[in-house]
C-alpha cells in the first residue's frame, strides 16, 4: 500500500507541476505596477481606494511533504476505490504474475475469479494456480486436497498432470528421498 501511496504522491506532484508550467506558458505576462501607473493618466487616488496588494503567488511546485499531507487527507476522507471486476483474460494474467510473489492475494483473487468464471476454459489453470499458492504458503494438506479436486474435475489436462506428479505421487510435507536414504544409512 505504501508503494501505491508513493506512486500516487509522485503522480500528484507531476500533475501539479505540469499544470503550473502550462498555466505560466499560456497566460500572458502581467505588467508591473510601474508600467500600469506610467500608462494611466494622473488621477488623485486616496490610500483608502487601494486595497492591500494580494499575496504573491508561489512560483514553485508543492513540496513532497505538502503532497503527502494532502494525499493523507484524501485517503482518510474517502473510502478506497473499489476495483472494477476484470474480465477473465485480465484476471488470469494477473494471477499468473501474482502467485509466485504474493500467495495470499492470489488465493483471494482465485476466490473472486471462481465466483465470476466458475466453469470457464481457464478453470483448470486457475485451480493449478490455487494449488501453487497454497504450496507457497506451506499449506500442504490443503494444497493436496485441492490437487485431488483438480485431477477429478479436469482429468487429462496438463494442469492436473502437473499437480498429480508433484503433490499426489510424492506429497509435500514428507521427508525427501534423500532424507529417507540418509536416515536408513544411519
Count: domains in the chain:
2
Q: Does residue 94 share a domain with residue 73?
A: no
Read off the pLDDT of residues 96-127 as tens digits, 9 standing for 90 and up.
999 899 999 999 999 999 999 988 999 999 99
State the SS3 of the chain: CHHHHHHHHHHHHHHHHHHHHHHHHHCCCCCCHHHHHHHCCCCCCCHHHCCCCCCCCCCCCCCHHHHHHHHHHHHHHCCCCCCCCCCHHHHHHHHHHHCCCCHHHHHHHHHHHHHHCCCCCCHHHHHHHHHHHHHHCCCHHHHHHHHHHHHHHCCCCHHHHHHHHHHHCCCCCCCCHHHHHHHHHC
Are residue 99 and residue 65 in the same domain, yes or no? no
pLDDT of residue 55: 56
Which tens digit of pLDDT belongs to each residue from 130-169?
999 999 999 989 999 999 999 999 999 999 999 998 888 8
Is 28 domain-assigned?
yes
**Same structural domain, 103 and 143:** yes
* Mean local confidence (pLDDT), 66-87: 57
Domain membership of residue 150 (yes or no) is yes
| Pair 70, 95 in one domain | no
Q: Is residue 182 part of a domain?
A: no
More confident residue, 17 or 162: 162
Do 65 and 104 fall within a single domain? no
Residue 150: which domain range?
Answer: 88-168
Q: pLDDT tens, 79-91?
A: 444 455 578 999 9
Mean of the per-residue pLDDT values for the chain? Answer: 75
Domain at 136, CATH number: 1.25.40.10
Mean pLDDT of 23-40: 57
Is residue 69 domain-shared with residue 108, that is, in the same domain? no
Q: Are residues 106 and 45 in the same domain?
A: no
Residue 177 in any domain: the answer is no
Q: Is 179 a member of any domain?
A: no
Same domain, 61 and 11: yes
Between residues 89 and 53, which one has the greater pLDDT? 89
pLDDT reading at 30 higher than 70: no
State the pLDDT confidence band at 76, using cuts at 50, 70 and 90. Answer: very low
Amino acid at each position: 500500500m505504501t508503494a501505491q501511496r508513493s506512486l500516487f504522491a509522485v503522480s500528484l506532484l507531476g500533475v501539479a507541476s505540469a499544470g503550473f508550467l502550462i498555466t505560466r506558458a499560456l497566460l500572458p505576462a502581467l505588467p508591473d505596477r510601474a508600467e500600469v501607473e506610467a500608462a494611466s493618466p494622473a488621477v488623485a487616488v486616496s490610500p483608502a481606494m487601494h486595497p492591500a496588494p494580494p499575496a504573491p503567488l508561489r512560483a514553485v511546485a508543492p513540496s513532497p511533504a505538502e503532497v503527502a499531507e494532502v494525499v493523507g487527507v484524501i485517503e482518510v476522507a474517502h473510502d478506497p476505490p473499489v476495483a472494477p471486476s476484470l474480465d477473465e483474460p485480465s484476471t488470469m494474467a494477473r494471477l499468473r504474475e501474482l502467485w509466485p510473489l504474493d500467495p495470499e492475494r492470489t488465493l483471494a483473487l482465485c476466490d473472486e475469479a471462481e465466483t465470476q468464471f466458475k466453469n470457464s476454459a481457464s478453470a483448470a489453470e486457475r485451480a493449478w494456480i490455487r494449488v501453487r499458492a497454497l504450496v507457497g504458503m506451506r499449506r500442504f494438506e490443503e494444497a493436496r486436497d485441492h490437487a485431488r479436486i483438480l485431477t477429478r474435475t479436469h482429468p487429462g489436462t496438463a494442469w492436473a498432470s502437473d499437480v498429480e506428479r508433484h503433490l499426489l505421487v510424492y506429497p509435500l510435507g514428507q521427508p525427501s528421498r534423500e532424507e529417507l536414504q540418509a536416515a536408513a544409512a544411519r
